[in-house]
């Protein structure tokens, strides 16, 4: 808890000491194909620093038992640590109440929880759900499933050629039939930062609740759900230096209380008879079964690590990396950046003329450079920009300008090999 | 240091050359068999057509959009099976798939010849399907399956090739 306070009080005027930060990440010392690993696939999953790894080990070596159950020492310890992690999540996104923080398996489960818990209860035939072209499949498919089941309809807000949301077009989609809005905070395929505050305000003018997919935003920007006034905010632990299998769904208490449970089981009930079950209060109502206790507690340590490092300094370092990479890649002939929004975070998607992204990815791997190639689970974005796939470099605060140089040199090599 | 595939052995000049100047590009006249092969994961999409006369591949050609590995594989495949009997072409498809998935001992007798330049994909699991797709599509054409895919039931990594 001290760590969080330190970060809030100190406005972090000094730039990050990246070399010192890198020493915290053992995996960054790896060599791949005889070359130093240049890990630029952070938008898919980020790496874990030693203090966070150590937290998992400490939990498993001295604190593990099932939570919310027994009266013995270990169960009480594990329960206390698990609930402490919930408060760290609460502080990380500035939620008003800790019961508004639900642990999920990740962003996908968070969105599915809202679809089942809110959507299936409150959305019916003829109702409309607004999404945007920029969505990851995980914020499209659940709503499509709901629309099919209920006879509801999806409306999609378009983007311009830079990959920026057209706010006026978005506004025009609202009508008396609009019952829900879901959109991404930061596009995973293009890096666009959406004008979420305005988008939320427009939805609220129409009395419509909003879910934000924060998977790509939470690792890079200071997220304040209270200030944003969003109704739901979902993100994943493994994209912000935490483990896989754990994520957070924030929801306004008023809405969470009205919603139906997503999964049935232990811990989400107050009493059970074969005639009737009384559900538990939030957040337990949405946490059926034994949760990923170790992952949640370890995620808590990741929140501490990020808070100590300072989200503003993290954002500044990543902006410097993205600006430098954008300028360098723009100088390469035959290479085109996809997604040129004015406001972007940590993602550089590009195509090399005449070379399929998978060939780019394989050749970059030969140089030790790890990027993602493909449609990035955002096929509507690929269709909008008329490309089958892109190559995507995505940055974290532990990346360096020298690593950007390695990326650029590797892209030059791709062009040499293909004679393009 | 992590031992990984030396992809220098994959992007050899012969593969790059077939990618730049694919042989048998374009679909032949009066084709008797055709199929489309798609890999939805990377967007590879090839159309293959051939003319079978007296059980011999008399003409064969392809076109489409794909990565270099897939395009070069299709180009070299068409060159390899042209003039061969269907049975010989199917034997090659069988050996190629086994090579690409690391199940063929290249020191034992085989019929692959220059097609062994693709042996390196066995160490790159995500690229195996790129190399196999043309052969998978050839089998689909022989078996009169209009469209095949590298995914779901038609996945060549699970289903025996041409078993659609």
* pLDDT > 60? residue A184: yes
Query: Nearest CA to A320 among A296, A337, A345?
Result: A345
Rounded Cα distance, A17 and A397, in Å = 10
- The string over B82-111, giving b where at least 16 C-beta atoms fall within 10 Å of a residue's C-beta and e elsewhere, is bebebebbbebbbbbbbbbbeebeeeeebe
- Percentage of chain A beyond pLDDT 90 is 91
Tell me the shortest Cα–Cα distance from B1 to chain A, in angstroms.
5
pLDDT band at A266 (very low <50, low <70, confident <90, very high): confident
pLDDT band at A1 (very low <50, low <70, confident <90, very high): very low
Partner-chain residue, chosen from A362, A374, A388, that has the shortest CB–CB distance to B124: A362
pLDDT (0 to 100) of residue B153: 67
Q: Which two tokens stand for residue B159?
A: 């289903």
pLDDT (0 to 100) of residue A9: 46
Give the start-end residues of each E strand in A26-127.
31-32, 35-36, 38-39, 101-104
Tell me, yes or no, if B42 comes closer than 8 A to chain A by beta carbon: yes
Tell me, yes or no, if A68 comes closer than 8 A to chain B by beta carbon: no
CATH number at residue B129: 3.90.1010.10
Q: Has the ipTM of the complex gone over 0.85?
A: no
pLDDT (0 to 100) of residue B43: 78
pLDDT (0 to 100) of residue A8: 47
CB A130 within 8 A of CB A152: no
Q: Do A356 and B20 touch (CB under 8 A)?
A: no
Chain B residues touching A389 at Cβ < 8 A: 42-43
Over residues A307-354, the pLDDT tens digits come to 999 999 999 999 999 999 999 999 999 999 999 999 999 999 999 999
pLDDT (0 to 100) of residue B157: 64
CB A98 within 8 A of CB A87: yes
Q: Do B68 and A363 touch (CB under 8 A)?
A: no
pLDDT (0 to 100) of residue A420: 63
Number of structural domains (chain B) is 1
Q: Do A355 and B124 touch (CB under 8 A)?
A: no
Helices B68-81 and A357-366 pack at an angle, to 10 degrees, of 110
Q: Do A358 and B8 touch (CB under 8 A)?
A: no
Partner-chain residue, chosen from B2, B8, B69, that has the shortest CB–CB distance to A359: B69
Q: Do B67 and A359 touch (CB under 8 A)?
A: yes
Tell me, yes or no, if A333 comes closer than 8 A to chain B by beta carbon: no
Tell me, yes or no, if B127 comes closer than 8 A to chain A by beta carbon: yes
pLDDT (0 to 100) of residue A338: 97
Using CA atoms of A82, A86, A91, A95 in order, give the dihedral in degrees to the nearest 10: -170
Rounded Cα distance, A381 and A308, in Å = 35
pLDDT band at A355 (very low <50, low <70, confident <90, very high): very high
Over residues A5-33, the pLDDT tens digits come to 444 444 445 789 999 999 999 999 999 98
The CATH classification number of A54-307 equals 3.40.640.10
Rounded Cα distance, A155 and A384, in Å = 16
CB neighbour class for A187 (10 Å; exposed up to 12, middle 13-18, buried from 19): buried
Q: Which helix (H) or strand (E) holds A20?
A: helix A18-23
Q: Which two tokens stand for residue A295?
A: 């992952």
Rounded Cα distance, B62 and B78, in Å = 8
In a domain, B154, yes or no: no
CB A230 within 8 A of CB A185: no
Over residues A65-93, the pLDDT tens digits come to 999 878 899 999 999 999 999 999 999 99
- What are the residue boundaries of the structural domains of chain A, listed by start? 2-48+310-415, 54-307
In chain B the first and final C-alpha atoms are separated, in Å, by 42
Chain A residues touching B15 at Cβ < 8 A: none
Tell me, yes or no, if B14 comes closer than 8 A to chain A by beta carbon: no
Q: Which two tokens stand for residue A339?
A: 């997604």
Rounded Cα distance, A338 and B30, in Å = 41
Q: Do B11 and A359 touch (CB under 8 A)?
A: yes
Chain B residues touching A33 at Cβ < 8 A: 2, 4, 6-7
pLDDT (0 to 100) of residue B54: 93
pLDDT (0 to 100) of residue A410: 97
Active-site residue set of A: 377
DSSP symbol at A183: E
Q: Do B20 and A358 touch (CB under 8 A)?
A: no
Distance of CA A153 to the CA centre of its chain: 26
pLDDT (0 to 100) of residue A4: 45
pLDDT (0 to 100) of residue B40: 80
Rounded Cα distance, A18 and A20, in Å = 5
Rounded Cα distance, A296 and A308, in Å = 19
Q: Round the average pLDDT of chain A to a whole number and report it.
A: 95
Q: Do B41 and A374 touch (CB under 8 A)?
A: yes
Tell me, yes or no, if B67 comes closer than 8 A to chain A by beta carbon: yes
- CATH of A2-48+310-415 among 3.90.1150.10, 3.40.50.2000, 2.40.30.260, 3.20.20.10: 3.90.1150.10
pLDDT (0 to 100) of residue A269: 87
Q: Do A389 and B2 touch (CB under 8 A)?
A: no
Rounded Cα distance, B101 and B114, in Å = 17
Beta carbons within 10 angstroms of residue A417's beta carbon = 17
Reduced to 3 states, what is the DSSP secondary structure of residue B77?
helix
Partner-chain residue, chosen from B1, B20, B130, that has the shortest CB–CB distance to A358: B130
Chain B residues touching A34 at Cβ < 8 A: 1
Q: Do B7 and A31 touch (CB under 8 A)?
A: no
Which A residues, 382 through 401, put their C-beta within 8 Å of a C-beta on chain B? 388-389
Partner-chain residue, chosen from B2, B20, B41, that has the shortest CB–CB distance to A419: B20
pLDDT (0 to 100) of residue B2: 40
Helices A357-366 and A401-417 pack at an angle, to 10 degrees, of 120
pLDDT (0 to 100) of residue B39: 87
H, E, C per residue of A140-179:
CHHHHHHHHHHCCEEEEECECCCCCECHHHHHHCCCCCEE
Q: Which two tokens stand for residue A335?
A: 């290479």
Rounded Cα distance, B55 and B57, in Å = 7
Helices A2-9 and A293-309 pack at an angle, to 10 degrees, of 30
* pLDDT > 50? residue A129: yes
Tell me the shortest Cα–Cα distance from A52 to chain B, in angstroms.
24
Checking DSSP bridges between strand A232-236 and strand A210-213, what pairing results, if any? parallel
Reduced to 3 states, what is the DSSP secondary structure of residue A132?
strand
Tell me, yes or no, if A289 comes closer than 8 A to chain B by beta carbon: no
For residue A283, whether the previous peptide bond is cis, meaning omega lies within 30 degrees of 0, is yes
CB A290 within 8 A of CB A298: no
Tell me, yes or no, if A360 comes closer than 8 A to chain B by beta carbon: no
Tell me the shortest Cα–Cα distance from A112 to chain B, in angstroms.
23
The ranges of chain B with pLDDT < 50 are 1-7, 159-164
Tell me, yes or no, if A36 comes closer than 8 A to chain B by beta carbon: no
pLDDT (0 to 100) of residue B158: 57
Chain A residue at shortest CA distance from B43: A388
pLDDT band at A288 (very low <50, low <70, confident <90, very high): very high
CB pairs under 8 A between A and B: 57
Query: Nearest CA to A89 among A1, A184, A210, A200?
Result: A1
Q: Which two tokens stand for residue B118?
A: 């693709």
The whole domain housing B93 covers 7-143
Q: Do A356 and B8 touch (CB under 8 A)?
A: no
pLDDT (0 to 100) of residue B163: 33
């Amino acid at each position: 808890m001290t760590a969080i306070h330190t970060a809030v009080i100190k406005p972090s005027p000094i730039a990050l000491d990246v070399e010192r930060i890198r020493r915290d990440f053992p995996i960054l010392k790896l060599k791949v194909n005889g070359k130093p690993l240049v890990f630029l696939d952070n938008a898919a999953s980020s790496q874990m620093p030693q203090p966070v790894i150590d937290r998992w080990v400490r939990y498993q070596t001295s604190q593990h038992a099932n939570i919310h159950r027994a009266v013995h020492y270990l169960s009480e310890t594990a329960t206390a640590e698990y609930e402490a992690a919930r408060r760290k999540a609460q502080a990380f996104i500035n939620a008003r109440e800790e019961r508004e923080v639900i642990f999920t398996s990740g962003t996908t489960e968070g969105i599915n929880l809202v679809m089942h818990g809110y959507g299936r209860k409150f959305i019916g035939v003829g109702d409309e759900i607004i999404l945007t072209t920029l969505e990851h499949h995980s914020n499209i498919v659940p709503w499509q499933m709901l629309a099919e089941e209920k006879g509801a309809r999806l409306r999609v807000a378009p983007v311009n050629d830079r990959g920026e949301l057209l706010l006026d077009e978005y506004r025009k989609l609202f009508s008396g039939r609009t019952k829900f809005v879901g959109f991404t905070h930061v596009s995973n395929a293009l890096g666009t930062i959406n004008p979420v505050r305005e988008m939320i305000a427009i939805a609220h003018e129409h009395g419509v609740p909003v879910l934000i997919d924060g998977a790509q935003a939470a690792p890079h920007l200071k997220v304040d759900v209270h200030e944003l006034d969003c109704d739901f905010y979902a993100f994943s632990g493994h994209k912000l230096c935490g483990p896989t299998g754990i994520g957070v769904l924030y929801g306004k208490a008023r809405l969470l209380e009205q919603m139906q449970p997503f999964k049935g089981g232990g811990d989400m009930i107050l009493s059970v008879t074969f005639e009737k079950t009384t559900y538990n209060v939030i957040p337990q109502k949405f946490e059926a079964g034994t949760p990923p206790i170790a992952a949640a507690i370890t995620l808590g340590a990741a929140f501490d690590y990020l808070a100590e490092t300072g989200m503003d300094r993290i954002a500044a370092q990543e902006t410097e990396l993205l600006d430098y990479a954008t300028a360098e890649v723009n100088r390469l002939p035959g290479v085109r950046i996809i997604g040129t929004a004015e406001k972007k975070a940590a993602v550089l998607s590009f195509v090399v003329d005449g070379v399929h992204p998978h060939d780019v990815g394989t050749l970059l791997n030969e140089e030790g450079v790890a990027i993602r190639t493909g449609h990035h689970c955002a096929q509507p974005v690929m269709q909008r920009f008329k490309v089958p796939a892109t190559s995507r470099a995505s940055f974290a605060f532990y990346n360096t300008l020298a690593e950007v140089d390695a990326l650029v040199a590797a892209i030059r090599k791709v062009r040499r090999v293909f004679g393009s | 240091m992590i031992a990984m595939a030396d992809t220098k052995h994959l992007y050899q000049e012969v593969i790059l050359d077939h990618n730049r100047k694919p042989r048998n590009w374009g679909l032949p006249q009066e084709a008797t068999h055709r199929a489309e092969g798609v890999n939805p994961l990377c967007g590879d999409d090839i159309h293959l057509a051939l003319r079978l006369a007296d059980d011999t591949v008399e003409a064969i050609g392809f076109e489409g959009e794909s990565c270099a590995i897939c395009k070069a594989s299709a180009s070299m495949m068409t060159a390899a099976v042209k003039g061969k009997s269907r049975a010989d072409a199917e034997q090659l498809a069988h050996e190629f798939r086994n090579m690409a998935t690391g199940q063929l001992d290249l020191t034992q007798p085989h019929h692959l010849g220059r097609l062994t330049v693709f042996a390196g994909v066995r160490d790159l699991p995500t690229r195996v399907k790129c190399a196999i797709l043309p052969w998978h599509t050839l089998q689909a054409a022989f078996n009169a399956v209009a469209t095949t895919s590298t995914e779901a039931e038609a996945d060549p990594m699970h289903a025996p090739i041409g078993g659609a």
